[in-house]
Structure 1
Amino acid sequence: MVDVILGLQWGDEGKGKIVDYFAPNYDIVARFQGGPNAGHTLYVEGKKVVLHQIPSGIFHQGAQNIIGGGVVLDPVILQKECATVESFGIDVKKNLFLSHRTNLILPTHRALDKASELQKGEGKIGSTLKGIGPAYMDKTGRNALRVGDLLNKNFTSQYIKLRLKHQRLLDSFNFTEDISSWEDEFFEAIEKLREFKIINSEYYVNDAISAGKRVLAEGAQAAMLDIDFGTYPYVTSSNTISAGVCTGLGVAPQKIKEVLGVTKSYCTRVGSGPFPTELDDATGEQLRTIGGEFGATTGRPRRCGWIDLVALKYACMINGVTQVVMTKADVLDKFDHLDVCTAYNIDGQSTKEVPLQMERLPLTPEYQTFKGWNTDTSAIREAAGLPEDMDAYIRFINEYLGAPIKYVSNGPGRDQLISL
């Protein structure tokens, strides 16, 4: 069977640590969608490591790691990541496999991303400028180059053909930046990519399931950034929800067992887009400072606010979440009170449903206030040691969501995860 770990908010929930924690229990850890716009932060041997494309199981020698067909892959960024991982003594090529269906991010995809975002001006969506959107556009437009194409002797001519198409688009944007150095890096990385095991991952994963092996599917970004069900158009370009596991890895829905949804004990967002519970005040700044809320990929300050249970319950519903992991609970240790959004008020009407385009509506969050626990929880290792007020906060969220919080993370360390 396949278990899934994915984010339930707008990303940055701490999925990397959670995947790293559970990875020893699995034979295969696979990324099923997204690209290098996602940063999964781990702490290995006391050092901070941010993985953008390599599955977070790479530091566990017993786990095989797969970059699936639903991913868009930047070969240059992958090589830099490999160098980081190898510095810890890990043989990356031994335990990292690439699906032949994985789409490649070209230098011109990055250029198109930048040109498009610049043209939007104030209407920009907050792209990380990694070329994700244009790469997925080529995928759906049936123009993409895939990892399996590297094995074709005509790869270079295919690349030139696609590059010329992209150049015409760049000319229409009046984009004149020289990207020749990007191309040099790209082709150097392509040669390194050919050294990896390129596999028919859909057969590989299904054969593993048939053999009784355990597979963990690792999501990037989060449910509220899903191209179909997120806060469109301020979303990513892939299906970040559990259904994306089926299309990204080639497994049937009935083979998915547990869906572990990861949420912070509060809420953050990077870039543009609606954020009903955002706190543009001293409290929001306090959350940002204590939580170290700066993007792992971009370094941008994250927008911060109280937890939004309307959006969270919606995410649990569309993902079929069976277990919830609450991260960064210790960030709330110093707050006297905590607000929890339990409904939206739109034109005087209270609703517990996520509307189509909330940024166009006069939406106000309705809050229920809880007493803070004012206790340092970072050293707690057992559920019985949680403060009473913290326990009340967790129990209320449990009841609202209808999906049980099974784990609470109270710090960045691997051992700072309390089983409930």
Structure 2
Amino acid sequence: MPLTMLSLDPAPFPLLPAIAGGGCVPGPRLHAPRRFCWPLRAASVAPPAAEEPSAAARERLESLSQVAGVLGTQWGDEGKGKLVDILAQRFDVVARCQEFFNENTQCVIGNGAVIHLPGFFKEIDGLESNGISCEGRILVSDRAHLLFDLHQIVDGLREAELGNSLIGTTKRGIGPCYSNKVIRNGLRVSDLRHMSTFTAKLNTLLRDAAMRFKDFEYDNKILKEEVEKYERFAERLEPFIADTVHFMNESILQKKKILVEGGQATMLDIDFGTYPFVTSSSPSAGGICTGLGIAPRSLGDLIGVVKAYTTRVGSGPFPTELLGKAGDLLRASGMEFGTTTGRPRRCGWLDIVALKYSCQINGFSSLNLTKLDVLTGLKEVKLGISYCTDDGNTVESFPADLDLLEQIKVKYEVLPGWENDISSVRDYNDLPETARLYIQRIEELVGIPVHYIGVGPGRDALIYK
């Protein structure tokens, strides 16, 4: 999302962004299979009522600021949705750049998101078929950009052109949609209210794609069918459309509690990630403000979500990647396969250099360490604590130069592992001593406390520290 808020794309921010597989593109996103607005995220279906939280949990949750954010620190798939689902129970508004719907909150898809209406309505239909009414519960920014099927087709054609140098996109059309936004010929939700000019604008997008790609099919019949489809969409979407900038700022003035979730993650940020192997929006803290239209001074606590190890999908540098059996073991134990695409994720040790870089950019107040249980059974665990060149010179921070990043050497710190199953542990002091040592060492190296620790896939498998 620039936080790509409400982008409904797996790239930017969650705060009112849309989702990548479905309706909205880059912005913060809330949960994987739902994707109507990639940068922003409305909220996921409310989970079953959980048992009463412990005193420690209540204290931690109640101490959060009026406007709080949850952002990914690595290359995505850190497990942000689980924490957001839990926190959402104590907030009035949940905004995102990706998908997300919580039954007990007002959900917002912000201007930073891109929204794929067929995917959006499919999600709405799924929710309502399960007895969850969305009427008056989801707001879609009139400034959010529309992601068309043509964007998805173009995304695939672009990747095919790149051959072996492909970026590794999800082919959801997020990049092409943001491209149109930036060159100022994209269509926004507000354009649906002016169908007299909508046809000409959509014709421009289709014509440009046909001129650029010989395999892109386009004629007047296709244009007519698209326009007719979007006339129906316009009527159905109208009750959801709102000036979300006004809504968000009024909510702040009314002292409502607001939770923002970013899509994608910091290392996929268009500016700060491993460019060009990144998303098309800003899923770092700055994307919250630009993707939702709220002032920086409104932001309070920002929670960075980080796996106990590192993963990434698609192409691009990965300094701590484990190849061979070691990587396969982590992948199998952590079920590291793309939620939307099913692609196997590349796995490696926790990269402290990249994590510190992410923390600097976002200014996190605390961290949520997820999937600690996946490391159970390893005789030793490693932390990639620094980078150096072939000649031994230390690289002070995460470099922009991909050639350097591909050749970089990682210095590791080796810590003892633990054998005992930790999935049922709910008190920090009940964790094995070596697991606590691992967490404490991460805190020391990045200078930020770990307040939430995931120890299993269950919603309640969370330790509040």
Contact kept in structure 1, 2:210 and 2:216, CA below 8 Å? no
Percent of pairs identical after alignment? 43
Q: 1:376 to 1:364 in 2, by over 3 A?
A: same
The aligned counterpart of 2:133 is 91
Do 1:226 and 1:241's aligned partners in 2 also have CA atoms closer than 8 Å?
yes
* Further displaced range: 396-405 or 91-100: 91-100
Return the alpha-carbon distance in structure 1 between the equivalents of residues 160 and 184 of structure 2. Answer: 26
Counterparts in 2 of 1:264 and 1:72: CA distance versus 1, 3 Å = same
**2:249 aligns to what SS in structure 1?**
helix
1:123 aligned residue: 165
Shift of 1:127: 0.8
For structure 2, the residue ranges without an aligned partner over 5 or more in a row are: 1-65
Per-residue deviation at 1:54? Answer: 2.5
**2:447 paired residue number:** 402
Preserved CA contact (<8 Å) 2:199 2:227: no
Residue of structure 2 in register with 1:212 after alignment = 255
TM-score for the superposition, normalised by structure 1: 0.90
Query: Counterpart of 2:82?
Result: 17
Which one of the candidate residues 323, 330, 349 is aligned to 2:393?
349
Contact 1:343 1:350 in 2 (8 A): yes
Counterpart code for 2:268: L
Query: 1:31 aligned to 96, 107, 110, which one?
Result: 96
Alignment of 1:195-344 (within 5 A): 195-344=238-387
Q: Distance in 2 between matches of 1:27 and 1:13?
A: 24
Shift, 1:76, TM fit: 1.3
2:195 is paired with a residue whose SS is coil
What amino acid maps onto 1:394 in structure 2?
A: I
The answer to whether the 8 A contact 1:325-1:406 is kept is yes
Match of 1:148 in 2: 190
Query: Which of the residues 107, 114, 120 maps onto 1:72?
Result: 114
Q: Following the alignment from structure 1 to structure 2, what is the Cα–Cα distance between the partners of residues 59 and 94?
A: 13
46, 66, 69: which one aligns with 1:4: 69
Matched residues in 1 for 2:283 and 2:194: separation? 30
Conserved in 1, the CA contact under 8 Å of 2:210 and 2:218? no
2: CA distance, partners of 1:339 / 1:185: 57
**CA offset at residue 185 of structure 1?**
10
Residue range with higher mean Cα deviation, 272-281 or 146-155 = 146-155
Cα separation, 1, equivalents of 2:161 and 2:269: 24
Using the TM superposition, give the Cα deviation of residue 158 of structure 1 relative to its aligned residue in structure 2, in angstroms.
Answer: 2.5
TM-score, normalisation: structure 2: 0.81
Give the secondary-structure state (helix, strand or coil) at the position aligned to 1:257: coil
Pick closer, same or farther for the CA change 1:107–1:380 going to 2, 3 Å: same
Aligned equivalents of 1:359 and 1:183: distance in 2?
44
Structure 1 Cα separation of the partners of residues 102 and 351 of structure 2:
33
Distance 1:288 1:183 in 2: 41
**Which residue pairs with 2:34 in the alignment?**
none
On the 8 A contact 1:28/1:214 being kept in 2, the answer is: yes
Q: Deviations over 1:75-106 (max 9, x none)?
A: 11112222332343211233111000010011
- Aligned equivalents of 2:285 and 2:248: distance in 1? 16
Q: Report the AA paired with residue 148 of structure 2.
A: L
The CA RMSD measured in Å over matched residues stands at 2.0
2:337 corresponds to which letter in structure 1? F
Q: How many residues align?
A: 395
In the alignment, is the contact (CA less than 8 A) between 1:306 and 1:340 conserved in 2?
A: yes
Distance 1:239 1:189, change over 3 A: farther
Which deviates more, 85-94 or 273-282?
Answer: 85-94
Q: Higher strand proportion, which one?
A: 1
Show CA shifts across 1:245-282 (max 9, x none). Answer: 11000011111101000000000000000000101121
Matched, 1:364 2:409: yes
| Aligned amino acid, residue 203 of structure 1 | H
How far residue 351 of structure 1 moved from its aligned partner, in angstroms, is: 2.7
Do residues 389 (structure 1) and 454 (structure 2) align? no
Distance 2:260 2:92 in 1: 11
